[in-house]
Protein backbone atom coordinates (compact mmCIF):
# COMPACT_ATOMS: atom_id res chain seq x y z
CA UNK A 1 0.00 0.00 0.00
CA UNK A 2 1.10 3.53 -0.71
CA UNK A 3 1.40 6.10 2.08
CA UNK A 4 0.20 9.63 2.39
CA UNK A 5 0.57 12.43 4.95
CA UNK A 6 -2.62 14.02 6.19
CA UNK A 7 -3.09 16.87 8.65
CA UNK A 8 -5.99 16.81 11.08
CA UNK A 9 -7.33 19.75 13.05
CA UNK A 10 -7.18 19.20 16.85
CA UNK A 11 -9.32 21.33 19.12
CA UNK A 12 -7.32 20.96 22.30
CA UNK A 13 -4.14 22.23 20.67
CA UNK A 14 -5.88 24.69 18.32
CA UNK A 15 -3.55 23.42 15.64
CA UNK A 16 -3.09 20.44 13.36
CA UNK A 17 -1.51 17.02 13.89
CA UNK A 18 0.28 15.30 11.07
CA UNK A 19 -0.18 11.58 10.40
CA UNK A 20 1.04 9.15 7.78
CA UNK A 21 -1.65 6.77 6.58
CA UNK A 22 -1.62 3.81 4.19
CA UNK A 23 -4.07 3.95 1.30
CA UNK A 24 -5.21 2.21 -1.85
CA UNK A 25 -7.61 3.27 -4.59
CA UNK A 26 -10.66 2.71 -2.35
CA UNK A 27 -9.39 4.32 0.89
CA UNK A 28 -11.54 7.26 1.96
CA UNK A 29 -10.86 10.16 4.31
CA UNK A 30 -12.96 8.34 6.91
CA UNK A 31 -10.89 5.17 6.50
CA UNK A 32 -7.77 7.28 7.08
CA UNK A 33 -9.30 8.73 10.26
CA UNK A 34 -10.24 5.23 11.44
CA UNK A 35 -6.63 4.17 10.92
CA UNK A 36 -5.38 7.15 12.93
CA UNK A 37 -7.84 6.56 15.78
CA UNK A 38 -7.15 2.83 15.99
CA UNK A 39 -3.38 2.91 15.45
CA UNK A 40 -2.18 6.31 16.62
CA UNK A 41 -4.60 8.31 18.76
CA UNK A 42 -7.74 6.79 20.34
CA UNK A 43 -8.93 10.24 21.48
CA UNK A 44 -9.43 11.62 17.96
CA UNK A 45 -13.04 12.82 17.65
CA UNK A 46 -15.08 12.61 14.45
CA UNK A 47 -18.59 11.52 13.53
CA UNK A 48 -19.33 8.42 11.48
CA UNK A 49 -22.03 5.81 11.12
CA UNK A 50 -22.95 4.21 7.80
CA UNK A 51 -19.71 4.44 5.79
CA UNK A 52 -21.63 4.65 2.49
CA UNK A 53 -23.11 8.12 2.22
CA UNK A 54 -26.55 7.39 3.66
CA UNK A 55 -26.57 8.59 7.27
CA UNK A 56 -25.19 12.09 6.76
CA UNK A 57 -23.05 12.20 9.92
CA UNK A 58 -19.50 12.45 8.56
CA UNK A 59 -19.33 15.80 6.78
CA UNK A 60 -15.92 17.52 6.94
CA UNK A 61 -13.80 20.08 5.15
CA UNK A 62 -11.03 18.45 3.12
CA UNK A 63 -8.66 21.03 1.63
CA UNK A 64 -11.49 23.49 2.15
CA UNK A 65 -14.00 21.43 0.19
CA UNK A 66 -17.11 20.28 2.10
CA UNK A 67 -17.49 16.53 1.62
CA UNK A 68 -18.79 13.33 3.18
CA UNK A 69 -15.56 11.83 4.47
CA UNK A 70 -16.87 8.28 3.95
CA UNK A 71 -17.03 8.62 0.18
CA UNK A 72 -14.24 11.14 -0.46
CA UNK A 73 -11.29 9.06 -1.70
CA UNK A 74 -7.71 9.91 -0.89
CA UNK A 75 -6.67 8.71 -4.33
CA UNK A 76 -8.83 11.43 -5.89
CA UNK A 77 -6.64 14.12 -4.33
CA UNK A 78 -3.53 14.67 -6.52
CA UNK A 79 -0.43 13.22 -4.88
CA UNK A 80 1.41 16.54 -4.96
CA UNK A 81 -1.35 18.13 -2.87
CA UNK A 82 -1.39 18.14 0.92
CA UNK A 83 -4.48 16.64 2.59
CA UNK A 84 -5.89 18.98 5.22
CA UNK A 85 -8.86 17.67 7.24
CA UNK A 86 -10.91 20.18 9.24
CA UNK A 87 -14.37 20.30 10.83
CA UNK A 88 -17.35 21.85 9.01
CA UNK A 89 -16.86 25.49 9.98
CA UNK A 90 -20.42 26.66 10.70
CA UNK A 91 -21.52 23.68 12.81
CA UNK A 92 -21.56 23.53 16.62
CA UNK A 93 -18.05 22.19 17.24
CA UNK A 94 -17.58 19.70 20.04
CA UNK A 95 -14.02 18.56 19.43
CA UNK A 96 -11.54 17.88 16.63
CA UNK A 97 -13.67 17.10 13.58
CA UNK A 98 -16.90 16.36 15.47
CA UNK A 99 -19.94 18.61 15.70
CA UNK A 100 -23.38 18.41 17.28
CA UNK A 101 -26.06 18.77 14.59
CA UNK A 102 -28.94 19.80 16.91
CA UNK A 103 -29.15 23.36 15.57
CA UNK A 104 -29.15 22.07 11.99
CA UNK A 105 -31.94 19.54 12.64
CA UNK A 106 -34.03 22.06 14.51
CA UNK A 107 -34.60 24.05 11.32
CA UNK A 108 -36.66 21.16 9.86
CA UNK A 109 -40.39 21.51 10.57
CA UNK A 110 -41.72 18.69 12.78
CA UNK A 111 -43.97 17.16 10.16
CA UNK A 112 -41.49 16.75 7.30
CA UNK A 113 -41.90 13.21 5.95
CA UNK A 114 -38.83 11.15 5.22
CA UNK A 115 -40.26 8.81 2.60
CA UNK A 116 -41.39 9.12 -1.00
CA UNK A 117 -42.69 7.00 -3.86
CA UNK A 118 -39.95 5.01 -5.59
CA UNK A 119 -39.03 6.31 -9.05
CA UNK A 120 -37.93 2.87 -10.27
CA UNK A 121 -40.10 0.57 -12.44
CA UNK A 122 -43.14 2.77 -11.88
CA UNK A 123 -45.19 0.87 -14.45
CA UNK A 124 -44.52 -2.49 -12.81
CA UNK A 125 -47.23 -4.26 -10.79
CA UNK A 126 -46.97 -3.94 -7.01
CA UNK A 127 -47.87 -6.52 -4.35
CA UNK A 128 -51.62 -6.63 -3.80
CA UNK A 129 -51.70 -4.93 -0.40
CA UNK A 130 -49.42 -2.05 -1.43
CA UNK A 131 -50.22 1.19 -3.24
CA UNK A 132 -46.71 1.76 -4.54
CA UNK A 133 -43.09 0.98 -3.79
CA UNK A 134 -41.51 3.52 -1.49
CA UNK A 135 -38.05 4.76 -0.57
CA UNK A 136 -36.30 7.22 1.69
CA UNK A 137 -35.82 10.77 0.51
CA UNK A 138 -32.53 11.53 -1.23
CA UNK A 139 -31.61 14.20 1.34
CA UNK A 140 -29.44 12.57 3.99
CA UNK A 141 -29.43 15.70 6.19
CA UNK A 142 -25.64 15.97 6.26
CA UNK A 143 -25.61 19.76 6.48
CA UNK A 144 -23.02 20.33 3.75
CA UNK A 145 -25.42 22.69 1.97
CA UNK A 146 -25.94 24.76 5.10
CA UNK A 147 -22.19 24.98 5.68
CA UNK A 148 -21.51 26.06 2.12
CA UNK A 149 -24.21 28.75 2.09
CA UNK A 150 -22.79 32.30 2.00
CA UNK A 151 -25.85 33.82 3.74
CA UNK A 152 -24.66 35.03 7.13
CA UNK A 153 -28.01 36.25 8.47
CA UNK A 154 -30.04 33.93 10.66
CA UNK A 155 -32.27 31.84 8.39
CA UNK A 156 -33.80 28.40 7.86
CA UNK A 157 -31.10 27.37 5.42
CA UNK A 158 -31.15 25.29 2.24
CA UNK A 159 -31.76 21.82 3.75
CA UNK A 160 -34.96 22.71 5.60
CA UNK A 161 -36.30 24.74 2.67
CA UNK A 162 -35.54 21.93 0.22
CA UNK A 163 -37.46 19.55 2.47
CA UNK A 164 -40.44 21.94 2.43
CA UNK A 165 -40.32 21.98 -1.36
CA UNK A 166 -40.32 18.18 -1.38
CA UNK A 167 -43.42 18.20 0.84
CA UNK A 168 -45.20 20.39 -1.72
CA UNK A 169 -44.14 18.11 -4.56
CA UNK A 170 -45.52 15.13 -2.65
CA UNK A 171 -48.65 16.84 -1.29
CA UNK A 172 -49.67 19.60 -3.72
CA UNK A 173 -53.00 19.99 -1.91
CA UNK A 174 -51.16 21.21 1.18
CA UNK A 175 -49.02 23.69 -0.78
CA UNK A 176 -50.53 26.74 0.92
CA UNK A 177 -49.53 25.70 4.42
CA UNK A 178 -46.00 24.84 3.36
CA UNK A 179 -45.62 28.04 1.36
CA UNK A 180 -46.61 30.01 4.45
CA UNK A 181 -43.63 28.49 6.22
CA UNK A 182 -41.25 29.08 3.32
CA UNK A 183 -42.45 32.70 3.10
CA UNK A 184 -41.33 33.32 6.67
CA UNK A 185 -38.86 36.19 6.99
CA UNK A 186 -36.23 33.57 7.92
CA UNK A 187 -37.17 31.68 4.76
CA UNK A 188 -36.82 31.96 0.98
CA UNK A 189 -36.29 35.73 0.88
CA UNK A 190 -32.89 35.41 2.55
CA UNK A 191 -31.49 33.29 -0.31
CA UNK A 192 -28.88 35.05 -2.46
CA UNK A 193 -28.98 32.44 -5.26
CA UNK A 194 -25.35 31.46 -4.86
CA UNK A 195 -26.20 27.78 -5.51
CA UNK A 196 -23.17 26.52 -3.60
CA UNK A 197 -25.72 24.35 -1.74
CA UNK A 198 -26.56 22.49 -4.94
CA UNK A 199 -22.90 22.12 -5.85
CA UNK A 200 -21.87 20.47 -2.57
CA UNK A 201 -24.94 18.23 -2.17
CA UNK A 202 -23.66 14.63 -2.23
CA UNK A 203 -27.04 13.15 -3.20
CA UNK A 204 -28.24 15.55 -5.91
CA UNK A 205 -31.09 17.19 -3.98
CA UNK A 206 -30.44 20.59 -5.65
CA UNK A 207 -31.60 22.74 -2.73
CA UNK A 208 -30.80 25.96 -4.64
CA UNK A 209 -33.19 25.06 -7.44
CA UNK A 210 -35.86 24.09 -4.93
CA UNK A 211 -35.57 27.39 -3.03
CA UNK A 212 -35.87 29.27 -6.34
CA UNK A 213 -38.98 27.27 -7.20
CA UNK A 214 -40.45 28.01 -3.77
CA UNK A 215 -39.75 31.71 -4.44
CA UNK A 216 -41.67 31.57 -7.74
CA UNK A 217 -44.58 29.77 -6.08
CA UNK A 218 -44.75 32.40 -3.36
CA UNK A 219 -44.71 35.23 -5.93
CA UNK A 220 -47.36 33.53 -8.05
CA UNK A 221 -49.55 33.12 -4.98
CA UNK A 222 -49.11 36.77 -4.03
CA UNK A 223 -50.11 37.84 -7.55
CA UNK A 224 -53.16 35.60 -7.52
CA UNK A 225 -54.20 36.92 -4.14
CA UNK A 226 -53.70 40.52 -5.24
CA UNK A 227 -55.86 40.06 -8.34
CA UNK A 228 -58.56 38.39 -6.26
CA UNK A 229 -58.65 41.42 -3.98
CA UNK A 230 -59.03 43.89 -6.90
CA UNK A 231 -62.59 45.07 -7.33
CA UNK A 232 -64.26 43.99 -10.61
Within positions 26 to 65, which residues make up the interface with another protein, using CB under 8 A? 26, 28, 34, 38, 42-43, 45-57
The Cα 163–Cα 157 span in angstroms is 10
For another protein, the binding residue among 12, 18, 229, 232 (CB under 8 A) is 12
* Per CB under 8 A, 10 contacts another protein: no
SS3 10: strand
CA distances from 109 to 113, 164, 218 (A): 10, 8, 18
Toward another protein, which CB reaches closer, 133 or 181? 133
Of the candidate spans 110-118, 188-196, 208-216, 221-229, the one that interacts with another protein by CB under 8 A turns out to be 110-118
Q: Please say whether the beta carbons of 144 and 66 come within 8 A.
A: yes
Q: Tell me the C-alpha to C-alpha distance, in Å, between residue 199 and each of 97, 112, 172.
A: 22, 23, 27
Residue closer to another protein (CB basis): 28 or 217: 28
Of the CA atoms within 13 Å of residue 188, those in its CB half-sphere come to: 21
Q: Say whether residue 95 binds another protein (CB under 8 A).
A: yes
* Alpha-carbon span 3 to 25, nearest angstrom: 12
For residues 129 to 158, the per-residue mask of contacts with another protein, x marking binding by CB under 8 A and - elsewhere, is -x--xxxxxx-x------------------
| Burial environment of residue 29 by CB neighbours within 10 A (0 to 12, 13 to 18, 19 or more) | buried
d(CA 183, CA 206): 19
Minimum CB separation from another protein for residue 231, in Å?
46
Q: At what angle do helices 158-170 and 175-182 cross, to 10 degrees?
A: 170
Q: Which is nearer to another protein, 56 or 87 (CB)?
A: 56
Least distance in angstroms from the C-beta of 16 to another protein: 18
**Closer to another protein at the Cβ: 105 or 220?**
105
Binding residues vs another protein (CB under 8 A):
12, 26, 28, 34, 38, 42-43, 45-57, 70-71, 92, 94-95, 98, 100-106, 108, 110, 112-115, 118-121, 124-127, 130, 133-138, 140, 203-204
Amino acid sequence: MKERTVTVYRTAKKTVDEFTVPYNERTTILDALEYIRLQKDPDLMYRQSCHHGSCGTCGMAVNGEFVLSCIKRLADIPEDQAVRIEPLPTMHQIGDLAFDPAEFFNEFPDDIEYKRVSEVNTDAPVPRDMEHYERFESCIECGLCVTSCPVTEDWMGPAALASIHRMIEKNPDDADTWLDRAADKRGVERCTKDFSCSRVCPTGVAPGKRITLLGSMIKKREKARASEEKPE
